Structures are given as C-alpha cells and as structure tokens.
C-alpha cells in the first residue's frame, strides 16, 4: 500500500482535478486542510469488466482512500456509463448527464461509436485557441468540441433515444480564403434519418459565417451524415466527398433527449 501525506491539501479540488483533468482556477482561495491519501491499487469493475480509469488527456488515474472513503474519478466512470461530464468553474459544479441550464446534452455525437464510416472528434480542454487551430472559426468563434467525417458518409445508431441533434458548421480561420487550397471550394452536409433526407446545410465557402442547425431526431433509429464537396462555385457540382470536412468541421455536435 502506498501512503501519501501532505499539508495544505485542498479538499475537493484534487478530486475535481482528477475528475476533469484540467487546471481549476482559484486554488489559492480554497479552504486548506491536512489529509492522508492511501493508494492501494484499487480496481473498479463495471458489469464484470475492469475499467481503465483515465483523465481527459488520457493519463491513468488511480483511485485513492481518504478518511476511510474511496474516491474515484468521476469522468472515467461517467464515460464508461455513457454519460457526458463537464466542469462549470463559475458555480464549482461537476455536471453529469443532460443539463439544459449548463448547455450539456444527453450525449456528444463524437462519443458515440460510428455504425458505418469514420470520424475525427477533438476536445480542447485547455481553453487556449491558436489562430490556426481547427477549433477557431473565421469569425473568431471558438468551439471546445468539434467533429468532422473522415469518410464519404458516417452513420450512428440513435435507437430512438434522442429528440434533437444540434451543432454549428463553420469554416476554420486558417481556411477562410480557400478550402484545402481550392479558392472556389465549397462543402455542405446532408443528414439522413433512417435513410430519409431531413437536412441540407448551407454551402460553406470562403467568407461563409458559421451555420447553426437543429434537427428533430425523435424516434430515429439511425442517423447518417454525408459530406459533399465542390471544387468550383457553380451550383449542382457537389459530390459525396469528405475532402473539405477538415476545413469545415461541426462544432458542439450534441444529442438531446
């Protein structure tokens, strides 16, 4: 058994750091106490399977015992249970599951396994956005979570569990003058529910502003996203192709119940 003893330990804050894997502002103002932590190779088994507990950056997180109580990383447990988890620094609140007040959905689309095709899903937990980042739009807006298809179509099983799919399609700041080197290139997204076309996005091209969408997915079993790309500005020249999705990702792709 490993024993860890230190002074001026900030109760609750360490647990929060373990939960979220991020730096919490205001540490100096928190109440300080002395505590002993015991690490004893604690394992967590869910439905017969040992969980690999990791923080938001993918580092291993080991549960510990303090004052006779086991402390477990909430993020790892929540994600194992399929629950979104986030941290509201303003109210010092860990948010699990859908929460309209804190704009947290029932699930982030990127957390779902794809049924067909592939996607790239990126999360920026650090709050620092460089101008060439995929998380920065051409109007200066920033998106902590982004998703873009990496195949000519990508589908997900919703199983009738959700009522709404929302997000924002935007042009990256670093691609504002040309989509992947194509001056007149354009991208758009088609969304199908159970093989029925329900949404066609605006064409995203040089100078386009972010495009918000909200789609009713009530009772939908399967959702398919088909990216299309055109190399010139003439209408009607779109083909199913994910070539431009790197430059035109979907910000905050959220599923709501």
**Contact between 250 and 204 (Cβ < 8 Å):** no
State both tokens at 60: 């291993």
Q: Which residues pair with 241 in a beta bridge?
A: none
Mean pLDDT by 10 residues, the chain (257 residues): 41 41 47 70 76 72 79 73 66 67 78 94 76 82 92 96 95 87 89 98 92 96 96 79 92 93
How wide is the angle at C-alpha 46 spanned by C-alphas 43 and 52, nearest 5°? 50
Q: Which residues pair with 164 in a beta bridge?
A: 216, 256
State both tokens at 95: 């948010």
The residue ranges of every structural domain in the chain are 2-96, 107-256
- CATH tag for 107-256 (out of 2.60.40.10, 2.60.120.1060, 3.40.50.1100, 2.70.98.10): 2.60.120.1060
Q: For 23-165, where are the alpha helices, taking DSSP H only?
A: 74-80
State both tokens at 112: 């779902």
According to DSSP, the β-strands at 33-39 and 45-46 are unpaired
**Contact between 254 and 202 (Cβ < 8 Å):** no
- The set of residues, in sequence order, having a beta carbon less than 8 Å from that of 29 and lying 6+ positions away, is none
CA atoms within 13 A on the CB side of 9: 15
State both tokens at 27: 């540490």
**Contact between 23 and 56 (Cβ < 8 Å):** no
The tens digit of pLDDT for each residue in 176-228 reads: 888 877 888 899 999 999 999 999 999 999 889 999 999 999 999 999 999 99
């Amino acid at each position: 058994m490993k024993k860890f003893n230190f002074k001026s330990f900030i109760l609750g804050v360490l647990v929060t750091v373990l939960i979220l894997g991020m730096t919490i502002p205001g540490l100096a103002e928190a109440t300080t106490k002395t505590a002993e932590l015991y690490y004893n190779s604690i394992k967590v088994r869910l439905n017969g399977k040992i969980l690999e507990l990791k923080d938001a950056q993918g580092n291993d997180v080991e549960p510990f015992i303090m004052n006779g109580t086991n402390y477990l990383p909430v993020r790892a447990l929540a994600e194992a249970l399929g629950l979104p988890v986030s941290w509201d620094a303003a109210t010092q609140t860990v948010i699990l599951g859908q929460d309209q007040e804190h704009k947290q959905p029932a699930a982030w689309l990127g957390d779902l396994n794809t049924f067909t095709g592939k996607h790239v899903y990126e999360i920026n937990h650090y709050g620092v956005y460089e101008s060439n980042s995929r998380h920065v739009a051409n109007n200066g807006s920033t998106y902590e979570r982004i998703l873009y298809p990496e195949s000519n179509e990508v589908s997900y099983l919703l199983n009738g569990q959700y009522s709404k799919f929302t997000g924002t399609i935007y042009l990256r700041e670093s691609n504002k003058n040309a989509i992947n080197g194509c001056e007149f290139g354009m991208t758009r997204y088609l969304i199908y529910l159970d093989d029925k076309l329900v949404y066609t996005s605006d064409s995203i091209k040089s100078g386009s502003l972010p495009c918000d969408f909200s789609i009713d997915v009530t009772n939908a079993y399967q959702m398919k996203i088909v990216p299309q790309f055109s190399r010139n500005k003439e209408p009607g020249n779109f083909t199913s192709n994910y070539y431009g999705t790197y430059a035109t990702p979907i910000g905050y792709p959220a599923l709501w119940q």
